[in-house]
Chain A
Amino acid sequence: MAKKKILIVDDELDFLKIVKLNLEQTEKFEVLTLSSAHELISHLHSFKPDLILLDMVMPGIGGIEVCDMLNDDLLGKTLPVIVLSALDKVEDKLLAYKKGIVGYLTKPIEKDALIAKIESVLESRFKR
């Protein structure tokens, strides 16, 4: 089974680094991390991820705006997005779901739970 490509967008560099390590440790995923959404679209097209992990609160371009950017992109709007955020308010969740995300996980998240969620999303994607 080919490695699934995961794109992670988060402003926390340490978080990006450790999640990348954790995901790659499973040897199931190929991970690209972006600390800001500024060059998201170009990377999107070059990397062609299978799934995007997106933070909500980021300086500059926030998570919701990233969702909009993705929805405006031909490739972007086909990709499943899982939000990974410290925000756990219902309103934040609802707002994100309205933008078409497929999952909302709150930090701190256990490694296994994260991987399980990613796999379930990818599975349902490929079943379709």
Chain B
Amino acid sequence: MKESSRQKKGALRDKILFPFIITDLLIVLLSVAIIIPVISGVLKNTLKQKGLYIAESVALHSLEYVLTENQLELIKVLREEQELHKEISYLLITDLKGKVICHSFKGGLPMGLEKANSLGSHQKNNIILLDTGKYFVYDIAVPLTVQGVLLGSLRVGVFNESIPRILSKIIFMLIALISLAIFIKILASYWFTLAAMEPVKKLQRATEAMMCGDLSVRVRINSKDELEELGNAFNATLEKLEQILVSKDELSREVVERKRAENAALAVNAKLEQNVEELAEAYAKLKESQKELLQSAKFGAIGQLASSVAHEVRNPLAIIMQSIEYLDCKVAPEDKEIIQMAKHNIQRADTIVATLLDFAKEKGLNVVPVDINSIIEDSLILTHYSNREGKIGIVKELGKDLPQVLVDRQKMKQVLVNVNLNALQAMPNGGTLFLRTYLAEFKRLQAGGENKNGDQPLPVKKAVIIEIEDEGAGISEENLKNVFRPFFTTKEETMGVGLGLSVAKNIVAMHNGLIEIKSRLNQGTKVIITLTVKEAPNGKEEDIDC
């Protein structure tokens, strides 16, 4: 990791330097390529100019000697001139026909040189390049004129070889200079790069320190550029980080606390949920009891109505009763039966009133230990009238040795009469009425309050079950919801007032029992009454009635 970071360190520098060097070299090459021809051109010209200048001055000097045909002086001038200028290879003077009059060559005129050059048209300067075999020479011919009269020409041979020499000298110096410049530049750029890289390195070092956990490091960059900004940002970040980490303990403590709080919240939530459940349960119960209350309020209202109705009905019944009995001894013996019938129906009317009043009664349960089967028999006697045509077969499947149950005999009889009557009425075309009683045992749902011996098995709850099943019309699902409602009836006015089952339910509920109805339309109905068996406390009978 450290190595690679170090590699990167160099890489960045190289990345910056390498292009610099390459571009520098390219520039040098380019400039050399451009400069050399230019310089050589310039050199050639200067050489030519120089030659021309020398030639013209020599021509001016030697004019006098040409006129006087002083050969010796001419040669002297030429040789002096040649020695004066290194560049001059030779000097020669020709006559008008181009014939060499004198020359500076010590060992004689080289072959072909005489005719090599001549004045151009109009007697103007003429420069040509001569190849001597050994080297190149610019042969410069200038006219020799005196007051406009052409006497001949002066030719100067200038070495061309000095041009490459000078050129190479110049190029060498150029390259040397450029190289020096590049070297300096590289050094400078290296140094500058290093200087510029310094903040980066600082940042790198600081970052490394930070990575090792030292958060107190700060970078000091005064480069007045983006890097300084970066450094400041870095410092600010560290500052913040340090702040965060300084309060790390606090934070972690807070986290712990928060977690604890969260757990607590969760617990509370769980409890809340439980509470909500309980609440929902309580609400359901409340609703149920509200319903019951409403029902009982209804019952209360009905009760008041019932007792006043009862009073109003019983008074005329009393009168009728007394009247009929008054007549009893006055009618013929064969009509006594009619008197009896009237009395019987008065009793019936009174029973109805009594039922209504029972319905309204809340207190007055007169519970005694009772053999349920005997109540079944009683109820059958009372409902026998409804089956006087004998269309309905009655099948009794009564359990033997059933425990006695604490019930109000009269009221329970009322329940069974009501249920039996419904069953009989449901079978107008005959059928079978099943009456069953049996003992059921089941585990008590809630643990007993005084369950001191924890391992004791849950007490067994016993109940006597009464089933009254018919093969009648059955009850539709819709009606099944309503059968226990007071005054709900599907029967004609003369047949039922819709109080039978609500009275039955009321009474069973007073005994802490349960009454359920299962029914299938057109198949039959089964009413199930469950009465829990309590161990009867001996001799403790709640006899309220007088």
By beta carbon, the residue of chain B nearest A11 is B315
Task: Flag if A86 contacts B318 (CB, 8 Å).
Answer: yes
- Of B318, B328, B363, the residue contacting A109 (CB under 8 A) is B318
- Of B307, B329, B363, the residue contacting A87 (CB under 8 A) is B307
Is the CB of B381 closer than 8 A to any CB of chain A?
A: no
Q: How far is the CA of A108 from the CA of B319 in the complex (A)?
A: 7
Is the CB of B350 closer than 8 A to any CB of chain A?
A: yes
Task: Flag if B325 contacts A107 (CB, 8 Å).
Answer: no
**Interface-side segment among A17-25, A69-77, A118-126:** A17-25
**Interface-side segment among A43-51, A60-68, A88-96:** A88-96
Q: Which residues of A contact B350 (CB under 8 A)?
A: 108
Q: Which residues of B contact A86 (CB under 8 A)?
A: 310-315, 318
Q: How far is the CA of A52 from the CA of B56 in the complex (A)?
A: 190
Q: How far apart are A24's CB and chain B's nearest CB, in angstroms?
A: 10
Q: Which residues of A contact B364 (CB under 8 A)?
A: 90
Task: Flag if B546 contacts A107 (CB, 8 Å).
Answer: no
Task: Flag if B546 contacts A12 (CB, 8 Å).
Answer: no
Task: Flag if B326 contacts A25 (CB, 8 Å).
Answer: yes
Task: Flag if B319 contacts A111 (CB, 8 Å).
Answer: no
Q: How far is the CA of A57 from the CA of B357 in the complex (A)?
A: 17
Task: Flag if A90 contacts B545 (CB, 8 Å).
Answer: yes
Most A C-beta atoms less than 10 A away, residue of B313, B314, B315: B315
Interface residues in B276-334 (C-beta closer than 8 Å to A): 307, 310-315, 317-323, 325-326, 328-329
* Residues of chain B at interface, number, CB under 8 A: 29
Most A C-beta atoms less than 10 A away, residue of B317, B319, B544: B319
Task: Flag if A108 contacts B346 (CB, 8 Å).
Answer: yes
Q: How far is the CA of A57 from the CA of B313 in the complex (A)?
A: 13
By beta carbon, the residue of chain B nearest A86 is B314
- Of B314, B361, B363, the residue contacting A107 (CB under 8 A) is B314
Q: How far is the CA of A84 from the CA of B314 in the complex (A)?
A: 11
User: Please, what's the 1-or-0 string for B359-387, where 1 marks a CB less than 8 Å from any CB in chain A?
Assistant: 00101100000000000000000000000
Task: Flag if A21 contacts B326 (CB, 8 Å).
Answer: yes
- Of A22, A57, A90, A94, the residue contacting B322 (CB under 8 A) is A22
Q: How far apart are B502's CB and chain A's nearest CB, in angstroms?
A: 20
Task: Flag if B319 contacts A14 (CB, 8 Å).
Answer: yes
Q: Which residues of B contact A19 (CB under 8 A)?
A: 322
Most A C-beta atoms less than 10 A away, residue of B312, B343, B350: B350
Q: Which residues of A contact B325 (CB under 8 A)?
A: 22, 110-112
By beta carbon, the residue of chain A nearest B545 is A90
By beta carbon, the residue of chain B nearest A87 is B311
By beta carbon, the residue of chain B nearest A93 is B546
Q: How far is the CA of A12 from the CA of B544 in the complex (A)?
A: 31
Q: How far apart are B348's CB and chain A's nearest CB, in angstroms?
A: 11
Q: How far is the CA of A112 from the CA of B364 in the complex (A)?
A: 28
- Of A21, A90, A107, the residue contacting B318 (CB under 8 A) is A107
Q: Which residues of B contact A15 (CB under 8 A)?
A: 315, 318-319, 322
Interface residues in A1-50 (C-beta closer than 8 Å to B): 12, 14-15, 18-19, 21-22, 25
Beyond A22-B322, A25-B329, 10 extra complex contacts between A and B, CB < 8 Å = A12-B318, A18-B323, A21-B326, A22-B325, A88-B357, A89-B307, A94-B546, A108-B317, A108-B320, A108-B321
Residues of B within 8 A of A (CB): 307, 310-315, 317-323, 325-326, 328-329, 343, 346, 350, 354, 357, 361, 363-364, 544-546
Q: What would be 5 A-B contacts, judged by CB atoms less than 8 Å apart?
A: A12-B318, A15-B322, A21-B322, A21-B326, A22-B322
